Structure 1
Amino acid sequence: MATVWAEKALLRDGWAENVRIEISPDGLIETIQTGQPAEGHRTGVLLPAPANCHSHAFQRAMAGLTEKRGPDPSDSFWTWRQLMFRFLDRLTPEHVETIAAFVQMEMLEAGYSANVEFHYLHHQPGGLPYANLAEMAERIAAASVTTGMGLTLLPVHYQYGGCDKRALGSGQIRFGNTLDAYAELHAKSAEAIAHLPADSRIGVAPHSLRAVAPEDLGHHVRLAGDTPLHMHLAEQIAEVEEIQAAYGKRPVELVLDSMELNERCCFIHCTQMLSHETDGLARSGAVAGLCPITESSLGDGIFDGVRWFENGGSIAIGSDSNIRISLSEELRTLDYSQRLRDHSRAALATPDKSTGRRLFDAVNAGGATTSARNHGSLAIGKLADMMALKADAVDLIGRGGDTILDCYVFAGDDRMVADVWSAGRHMVTEGSHIGREAIVSAYARTMKELGEAI
């Protein structure tokens, strides 16, 4: 039994002081007591730690390499995508494992407790499957063993190069599987995480309406069962136009008309929605998986968070391309984008919740749903997925209640994070991962081997 004590803690029922939490050997919160003397591991401000709902781990190694203007004066997501395709052809399973471990380490140090890995790099360069079809999935799982981070693995089905069902291009063939091959990959990926801690999960991920046929979505729903189903949706204008031209409906309209949606469905980005689509998708119970830093980097557009929340929508937060892994900055970017679009302030606050509190509560609840983990709040019986902010952080001096979260999101940054637990595994102390030195060293070797890939 591990004991954690906090000067202040955000419990499911609100803020409390001098909080003592006991964590059982299976990583669950067993007891919570307030008004207790300090004992055990002492922290400043204890918070629930959310899941990172969307990551492509390997893209972390590209960070900073795509900021030059290419030969096309209209450089965009699509030119970035071509650079990404060239880069990934150099990645080996060993590279993927060390990159994934580095990414997960950074996520933990930023305050995330779990990683939902949208994993689509399956095969060898040239498209030939590895002898072990789940070789790459096993590498993601191995990284989570190294880091101690909770893992929800989403093997991705990627079959076509566009809505016309054309064959995959040279940059995509490492992703490709038929429906039958994908079912086998999914089964083997489930086996790959079977030896991980009990909080590990598997899910299903049709990549997008460009990469899978709409008539096959029922297959994915059946394969997912009661596990998460994630899919990119309505990210780019060109994507919306291609889907509308092919099927006579915009992406969100197509999904609303053809799928039975619920909270197990997570649609990533949703930056190109009309008002009626925002209303309908929010009311469906599906979660919007938002990645504001990546969406800004790629020029995707602005998710309509104000309208989404007005319709009772749920959100989760993710780091996607991992160009910068920062929980506080994702939340800040999401809110600031609403202010810039609408010429407003505190756009996502409510009369009873400040902006920081509303966003923090929302991404914890949505992260628990999209990762299928029993976490999301500090409550008895929940996984001990927790983050602690430094009591002596300059921007928290004299602050209390929800103002703590506002100062963390808008005045501070992830340097405030002191400790992080994932299912009771205490992986970050004094702001650093306990295995940081070895993980960084392995990542550095990988980066040297990759050299100038772009």
Structure 2
Amino acid sequence: MIIRSKGRCRVETIFARNAWVDGDWASNVRLTLDGMLLRSVEHDAAPQAGDERHDLVVPGMPNLHSHAFQRAMAGLTEVRGPADDSFWSWRTLMYKFALSMTPDEVEAVAAQLYMEMLEAGFSRVGEFHYLHHDRDGGHYSDIAEIGARIAAAAAQTGISLTLLPVFYAHAGFGGAAPADGQRRFINSLDSFSKLMERSREIAAGLPGTVVGVAPHSLRAVTPEELIAAAELAGDGPVHIHVAEQVKEVEDCVAWSGARPVEWLLGHAPVDRRWCAIHATHMTADETVRLARSGAVAGLCPITEANLGDGIFPLPGFTAAGGRFGVGSDSNVLISVVEELRLLEYSQRLGNRARNVAAEPGQSTGAALFSGALAGGSQALGCAAKLEPGLPADLVSLDTAAVPYLDAAQCLDAWIFAGALGPKTVWARGRRVVEDGRHIDREAISARFTAAMRALTST
């Protein structure tokens, strides 16, 4: 498959009245974009003729956890079934969608999703990609056919990609045989190694793409497979679902005598390359140990709320030095600010306190935004900073509704009051969003609508 990029990518200079640099606001910043990179970042500068002027510029946010195909389900799983609904009943419906989608439909859905991410202010996505095979479970002639479709969607929209092929081999702890509904996910270590090799070939055709590995979960791999799959990441990131659900914790204890995070930290070489997705249900000791391992906690507050997962122990984790990032997981709603807001509000509800994520005297919006930038970029093997030599991933926020606010108040107003929003977005130097809309929105949305009509009619 030929991957082509769209959008303007040239030398241009942006003058920002305020820009988020090194974790704080800097005034009068000139940012020169040269191709895909930032050539220079000048502080306390004066605007020059030809500069494009913006009020507030921030780095694009990394989205560290996405299952692109699940965007097709958004809004379609909110009817209560005959019994109590849970993650496990939702998963049954998800499998039905997974088994029905063609590669063309996956690409159309992914492109719509990635367009929405860019419009929201995300500039890189970690695609936790496990929909690998044909609808009967057989391999495509290109073993990474759907991975190539994911890359094509990223190229069309302009979002940067960290591709995380998922190793998925079992239906439950202890190497249980996979269920029929999982047939499109399943690999042996041998076929997964071939999938990884082909994924790297695909990534080589899309500048800036990072390839890592995602052992799906402790229930989907054996201990030996976990280590073998993680080794295939090389120096790339390693992501794994862990301790998302209470039943998962109970099943892990029944299998091993240990809780999921406890078992993972005791049996795998967890370090700063690793990202523990969700890690919702941890003891105080597990929370501190995970933080001290250097791994990032991959939090998806909207999905975790939608699925009734629980509340992550953020205060104990960050107090022990832990890093976090945010992702959109099931992609039921795409919003940088909703993920950050719900992360904070869940803490307020659970701890019956306010401004939980911030240090004394610190803006909560600034704490959430800077924390998610740092953790997300670590987890995706990228850099999310306005710094010379780094990718030009920038978001200009529209301040027209709040001309009376100073820069220090704007992150709080964006996250908690919805008073601002992305107006212009550059991804690797390409201006992909103008006036809040993706430059290719009409074509992408038309293809998505056609795909959804076909999917929902069957």
- TM-score class, shorter-chain normalisation, is over 0.9
Contact 1:283 1:311 (8 Å CA) reproduced = yes
Could you list the per-position Cα deviations for residues 302-337 of structure 1 after superposition, in whole angstroms to 9, with x for gaps in the alignment? 001111110000011100000000000000000000
Who is 1:436 aligned against? 441
Mapped to 1, the partners of 2:297 and 2:453 lie a distance apart of 37
Deviation, 1:145, is 1.1
Contact 1:160 1:212 (8 Å CA) reproduced = yes
Equivalent residue of 2:204, what SS?
coil
Who is 2:109 aligned against? 99
Moved more, 162-171 or 62-71: 162-171
Equivalent residue of 1:278, what SS?
helix
Moved more, 162-171 or 53-62: 162-171
Equivalent residue of 2:425, what SS?
strand
Aligned residues with identical type, % of pairs: 47
The residue correspondences of 1:363-442 to structure 2 (distance < 5 A) are 363-373=372-382, 375-392=383-400, 394=401, 396-412=402-418, 416-442=421-447
Mapped to 2, the partners of 1:400 and 1:442 lie a distance apart of 41
Who is 1:343 aligned against? 352
Who is 2:14 aligned against? 4
Contact 1:32 1:379 (8 Å CA) reproduced = no
Equivalent residue of 2:391, what SS?
coil
**Is 1:356 matched with 2:355?**
no
**Is 1:173 matched with 2:178?**
no
Deviation, 1:278, is 0.6
Who is 1:201 aligned against? 210
Contact 1:265 1:370 (8 Å CA) reproduced = yes
Who is 1:36 aligned against? 46
Who is 1:16 aligned against? 26
Who is 1:70 aligned against? 81
Equivalent residue of 1:451, what SS?
helix
Who is 2:251 aligned against? 242
Deviation, 1:164, is 3.1
- Structure 2 letter corresponding to 1:58: F
Who is 1:217 aligned against? 226
Who is 1:55 aligned against? 66
The residue correspondences of 1:137-176 to structure 2 (distance < 5 A) are 137-176=147-186
Contact 1:389 1:417 (8 Å CA) reproduced = yes
With over 3 angstroms needed to count, the CA separation of the structure-2 counterparts of 1:97 and 1:297, relative to structure 1, is same
Structure 1 moving runs of 4+ over 3 Å: none
Could you list the per-position Cα deviations for residues 22-63 of structure 1 after superposition, in whole angstroms to 9, with x for gaps in the alignment? 012242343324332254332221001111000000101101
The residue correspondences of 1:293-312 to structure 2 (distance < 5 A) are 293-312=302-321
Mapped to 2, the partners of 1:372 and 1:28 lie a distance apart of 18
Contact 2:64 2:379 (8 Å CA) reproduced = yes
Could you list the per-position Cα deviations for residues 60-113 of structure 1 after superposition, in whole angstroms to 9, with x for gaps in the alignment? 1101111111122x2100000001111221100000001000000000000001
Equivalent residue of 2:431, what SS?
strand
Mapped to 1, the partners of 2:451 and 2:334 lie a distance apart of 19
Mapped to 1, the partners of 2:179 and 2:230 lie a distance apart of 27
**Is 1:192 matched with 2:197?**
no
With over 3 angstroms needed to count, the CA separation of the structure-2 counterparts of 1:327 and 1:159, relative to structure 1, is same
- Structure 1 letter corresponding to 2:77: T
Mapped to 1, the partners of 2:103 and 2:279 lie a distance apart of 31
Contact 1:58 1:96 (8 Å CA) reproduced = yes
**Is 1:88 matched with 2:98?**
yes
Could you list the per-position Cα deviations for residues 266-319 of structure 1 after superposition, in whole angstroms to 9, with x for gaps in the alignment? 010011111111111011100000000000000000001111110000011100
Deviation, 1:168, is 1.3
Equivalent residue of 2:453, what SS?
helix
Equivalent residue of 1:163, what SS?
coil
Equivalent residue of 2:190, what SS?
helix
- Structure 2 letter corresponding to 1:105: M
Who is 2:6 aligned against? none
Who is 2:7 aligned against? none
Deviation, 1:225, is 1.9
Structure 1 residues not aligned, in runs of 5+: none
Q: CA RMSD in A?
A: 1.3
From 140, 158, 164, the equivalent of 1:130 is 140
- Structure 2 letter corresponding to 1:409: I
Equivalent residue of 2:37, what SS?
coil
- Structure 1 letter corresponding to 2:73: M
Deviation, 1:215, is 2.5
- Structure 1 letter corresponding to 2:285: H
Output the TM-score relative to the length of structure 2: 0.95
Moved more, 442-451 or 381-390: 381-390
Contact 1:27 1:425 (8 Å CA) reproduced = no
Moved more, 319-328 or 29-38: 29-38
Contact 2:239 2:276 (8 Å CA) reproduced = yes
Equivalent residue of 2:232, what SS?
helix
Could you list the per-position Cα deviations for residues 243-280 of structure 1 after superposition, in whole angstroms to 9, with x for gaps in the alignment? 11111111000111112222110010011111111111
- Structure 1 letter corresponding to 2:79: K
Mapped to 2, the partners of 1:256 and 1:388 lie a distance apart of 40
Who is 1:253 aligned against? 262
Contact 1:21 1:33 (8 Å CA) reproduced = no
Who is 2:452 aligned against? 447
- Structure 1 letter corresponding to 2:392: A
Number of residue equivalences: 447
From 259, 263, 275, the equivalent of 1:266 is 275
Mapped to 2, the partners of 1:220 and 1:40 lie a distance apart of 48
Contact 1:29 1:383 (8 Å CA) reproduced = no
